[in-house]
Homo-oligomer: A and B are copies of this chain.
Amino acid sequence: MARIAREVGVSKGTLYNYFPSKAALFSGFIAMGCDQSLKHILDIAPAENQPEETLYRAGRVVMEMMLSPFRQAIHRMVMSEAGQFPELARAFFEAGPQRALNYLSDWLRLESTAGRLVVPDPDFAAEQFFALCQTKLVMRSRLRLIETAEPAEVERVVRGAVSLFLKGYAPSQPVLSS
């Protein structure tokens, strides 16, 4: 808190006038960060697109979030403070990943109803898709083994995720009549 106050240019007391505790400050910070990025994710699915196109765009957004230095810094903080400030981890998860997951699983449910996908368990499938988006790059980036992810690599991961996901969840006789 002392360091934050110093870098912000105020006193510790002032910091505590705005946030009743470190956890609250963190929560606010995280919520803010998440709110901003959720704007991006909320309009990925114009209904007219093919599932493949929508998934691709969702994958791009998710990867961009998971690879952004800002978001990774938050992730690191939350993870190392999760022991002392459990509320923090919860706030982070609910404001970020949880909402993205909900959004994707809602969309999967719709597509499933429309017959464009066959997804028995949309919640689980959404988790799988996001997991696939972590292929290779996310962990390496979090561990700072790579400075920045190559755009071509990102493209490949997303394509790979979409491709594998659709092999599992597309209707078996693909779109004959349409």
Contacts and interface: CB of A to CB of B under 8 A. Distances in A.
Chain A's interface: helix, strand, loop or mixed, by majority?
Answer: helix
Interface string A110-154: 000000000000001001100111111001101111000000000
A32 interface: no
B136 A89 contact: no
Nearest to A72: B79
A69 to B, nearest CB: 11
A76 B80 contact: yes
Interface string A86-101: 1001101100010000
B79 A145 contact: no
Assign chain A's interface to a size class: 35 or more
Interface of A: 76-80, 82-83, 86, 89-90, 92-93, 97, 124, 127-128, 131-136, 139-140, 142-145, 156, 160-161, 163-165, 167-168
